[in-house]
Amino acid sequence: MATSMVCLAVLCLVSPLLLAGSVRGNPGYGGGLFPQFYDHSCPQAKHIVHSIVAQAVARETRMAASLVRLHFHDCFVKGCDASVLLDNGTNIVSEKGSNPNKNSIRGFEVVDQIKGALEAACPGTVSCADILALAARDSTILVGGPYWDVPLGRRDSLGASIQGSNNDIPAPNNTLPTIITKFKRLGLNLVDVVALSGGHTIGLSRCTSFRQRLYNQSGNGLADSTLDMSYAAQLRQGCPRSGGDNNLFPLDVVTSTKFDNFYFKNILAGRGLLSSDEVLLTKSAETAALVKAYADDVHLFFQHFAQSMVNMGNIMPLTGSKGEIRKNCRRLNNFH
Which residues are marked as active site? 73
Please check whether residue 191 is in contact with residue 178, taking contact to mean a CB–CB distance below 8 angstroms. Answer: no
Question: Of 129, 127, 136, 69, which is closest to residue 101 (Cα–Cα)?
Answer: 69
Q: How many CB atoms lie within 10 A of CB 149?
A: 12
Q: Give the residues across from 204 on adjacent strands.
A: 250
* Non-local CB neighbours of 263 within 8 Å, separated by 6+ positions: 197, 198, 200, 201, 251, 252, 272, 277
The answer to whether 294 touches 194, Cβ cutoff 8 Å, is yes
Q: How far apart are CA 201 and CA 203, in angstroms?
A: 7
User: What is d(CA 172, CA 292) in angstroms, rounded to the nearest whole number?
Assistant: 21
Cα radius of gyration rounded to whole Å, the chain: 20
* Beta carbons within 8 Å of 114's beta carbon, 6+ residues apart: 48, 49, 52, 53, 131, 135
97 burial type by CB count under 10 A (0-12 exposed, 13-18 middle, 19+ buried): middle
Q: Are 157 and 81 in contact (CB under 8 A)?
A: yes
Q: How far is CA 39 from CA 125, 194, 305, 308, 310, in A?
A: 11, 33, 25, 24, 19
